Chain A
């Protein structure tokens, strides 16, 4: 057996069996894939919306909570008057 000859045969054979990087109907194939992909588009949009909601809702909650806290700061809250406390202590 001539190994050089076999190597040459293998090179030609592998080019036929595994070497093709294009097809004559690649346009048709691509068209068919894209048809399926376009049908998925609404599903993906919905998925993207759910993904958005997953972080947007908690973020909105944090925002609202912050706003509430900001508008009800300790300064604006009514605390027991220090003088009334002193009076109560004196009375006691």
Chain B
């Protein structure tokens, strides 16, 4: 199986089909980022597809200083922010109401994802539920959790991005986690 760099070189040399390996390996991460930003599963999937197309078009600009994953995460982040600049965020249901209505589905997802060392794949229904959960989070919590937990950015980079101190980042993150824990405590 070719490694990432070999795959990229193959695509740049004209082997378009080799790009599918990069899509398959990174699609879950990119879709999750788009879900976290946009909330709705269908909208997020459309955005995630656009992210990969953009990556394909700009592949010759990939320098290889960081991994392809890091590079495409950045593209996804920028693409979602661009989308959000041009459209209003959807009004969403409250997290309490969502977890009340979808409690069984969430409970099932909790059990499945924690039953093995390697989490099983998300189904489209799981992604839909996750999108609704992300969308139901308070804006500040959703933002900090997306940057840290989904994009896995270092604290320093988050602080720069949000124009605040490291302590402020850690404080916001702690509060966001605590809010989620409190809302979901009944499932544990």
Footprint of B on A, CB under 8 Å?
6, 9-10, 12-27, 29-30, 32-34, 36-38, 40-41, 44
Contact = CB atoms under 8 A, between A and B. Distances in A.
Given A24-B124, A40-B53, A10 B177 contact: yes
Interface residues on B, range: 35 or more
Contacts of A44: 57
B23 A23 contact: no
Contacts, number: 105
Majority-rule SS of B interface residues: helix
What are the 8 A-B residue pairs with the smallest beta carbon separation, nearest first? A22-B121, A18-B149, A16-B113, A20-B122, A33-B52, A30-B23, A24-B123, A24-B121
Given A9-B184, A21-B28, A44-B57, A34 B20 contact: yes
Contacts of A14: 149
Given A24-B121, A30-B20, A19 B48 contact: no
A18 B150 contact: yes
Given A23-B122, A24-B122, A29 B113 contact: no
7 contacts: A13-B184, A20-B122, A24-B121, A32-B49, A37-B19, A37-B56, A38-B16
A21 B29 contact: yes
Contact of A26 (B28, B32, B53, B120): B28
